Amino acid sequence: MIRSDGVIEMVDYETGIWRDIKGYEGKYQISRTGQVKSLEREIRVRLKNGETFYKIIKERILKPALSRTRYKKYSAICLSKNGVEKSYKIHKLVRSHFKFNPNQKVCGVKPYTKAILQIDKKTGEIITEFKGSCEAERETGIDQSNISNCCAKRKHYKTAGGFVWEYKI
């Protein structure tokens, strides 16, 4: 099925619509339910003795791994392109390829954003309010993790980028 914006969607009636993963077009697709599949393709294999041959990889559903952060566990998938592997959290891939309500859970994960206040260090006045740390990073260029650490009042994080940061109550 071809949408009006030219995106090709493969419809599988068991899992729904499959879309190419950005940056991995023709290699991997993702469904709205969070399944990732490797598409059938031909790859070149180089042996230790220098010989090369071509091998056909069959289409298959990939098994997700468990990605752990300090506080939570997420399903993740490792994608490969030109011999370079990169790991992605599945719920983030699904959210970036399909439209959802802002507060809707995706693959069992609910988006978590709190409003953040940027405060002048000297005067204590509120400069700007942001919807979340990602927006604050885009607008100010200050690293999102430093902003979040300041808001959470973590040890050694009093300021970030010369500003005080707090969650809006």
Closest CA to 117 of 151, 140, 155: 151
- Mean per-residue pLDDT of the chain: 83
Instruction: Show the CA angle centred on residue 19, arms to residues 99 and 94, nearest 5°.
Output: 45
* Higher-scoring residue by pLDDT: 62, 11: 62
> pLDDT category, 59, cuts 50, 70, 90?
very high
As a 3-state breakdown, the chain gives helix, strand, coil percent values, each rounded to 5, of 15, 40, 45
> pLDDT band for position 65 (50/70/90)?
confident
pLDDT at 4: 52
Q: Report pLDDT for 111.
A: 60
Distance CA 157, CA 142 (A): 13
pLDDT at residue 1 tops 80: no
CB-hemisphere CA count at 13 Å for 20? Answer: 11
Percent above pLDDT 90 for the chain: 33
Q: Strand 41-46 to strand 52-57: parallel, antiparallel, or no bridges (unpaired)?
A: antiparallel
Compute the distance between CA of residue 31 and CA of residue 10 in angstroms, rounded to an integer.
9
Q: Residue 104 is which amino acid?
A: Q
pLDDT at 70: 67
Residue 121's closest CA among 149, 95, 91, 158? 158
Note the pLDDT tens digit of each residue in 16-55: 789 999 999 999 999 888 899 999 988 888 888 989 999 9
CA–CA gap between residue 146 and residue 158 (Å, rounded): 10
Domains of the chain: 10-97 (3.90.75.20), 116-167 (no CATH)
The one-character DSSP state at 162 is T
pLDDT tens readout for residues 95-126: 888 887 666 666 666 565 678 999 999 999 99
Cα 3 versus chain centre, distance: 24
**DSSP character at residue 131:** S
pTM given for the model: 0.57
| pLDDT (0 to 100) of residue 123 | 92
User: Across residues 154-165, what is the average pLDDT?
Assistant: 89
Mean local confidence (pLDDT), 70-84: 84
